[in-house]
Amino acid sequence: MKIRVITILLAIILVAIAYLPVMAEDNSGQSTITMNTESVMGISLSQAEWRVEGEKDVSVNATYETDLPASWCTITNTGNTNVTIFIKGDDAKWVNDPSKKWTLSGTGDNGKNIYALWYHIKGDTADSYTLVSKDLTSMKWTRDAERLNLAKHADTQQFGLKLLTPTQFIGGRTMEANITISAVAA
């Protein structure tokens, strides 16, 4: 008799590997380091003179613009302080007798021996002009009424001027007016 013994040994070994991935957890700390800078204030102007009409005479009740209406004069921050730019006009005086004047208009209207002066900042709304008065006033953009600022060294802004002569004046007199551009720490 042929006895066939089949022995099947099924060994199932369950290896329970606790395979917990070792997560390399990040963690960090941060420190904020600050440094303060020293300040110096200064501006420069690219123009020192405007000869209206050059060597020619100006007419009564006439409007004149600088040859570059928006970029005739460049204001440069030569310091490093954030500054606001101010402007102040003055009466125009006869160079031979400063007591003889053209009064700077406070309204933009001209008149007998009354002239008006405006500025336009480059990049502002087209054909927008702001009146220059004898009061020290911050230059502003007409588009949003924001003050003209030069935040840091070498920042620049440009502007041009427009002048309206009096409706009546004595001809032949050379009139001279000074406008002052100044910077105040913002």
Positions touching another protein (CB under 8 A) are 1, 3, 5, 7, 9, 16, 18, 20, 22-42, 78-82, 151-154, 185
* Least gap, CB of 152 to another protein (angstroms): 4
Nearer to another protein, 82 or 142 (CB): 82
Between 16 and 126, whose beta carbon lies closer to another protein?
16
CB atoms within 10 A of CB 110: 23
Rank residues 37 and 99 by Cβ distance to another protein and give the closer one: 37
Q: Are the beta carbons of 94 and 173 closer than 8 angstroms?
A: yes
Q: Closest distance between another protein and the C-beta of residue 5, in Å?
A: 6
Q: What is the DSSP string of 80-127?
A: SS-EEEEEE---EEETTEEEEEEEEPSSS--BBTEEEEEEEETTSSTT
To another protein, the closest distance from the beta carbon of 35 in angstroms equals: 5
185, β-bridge pairs: 83
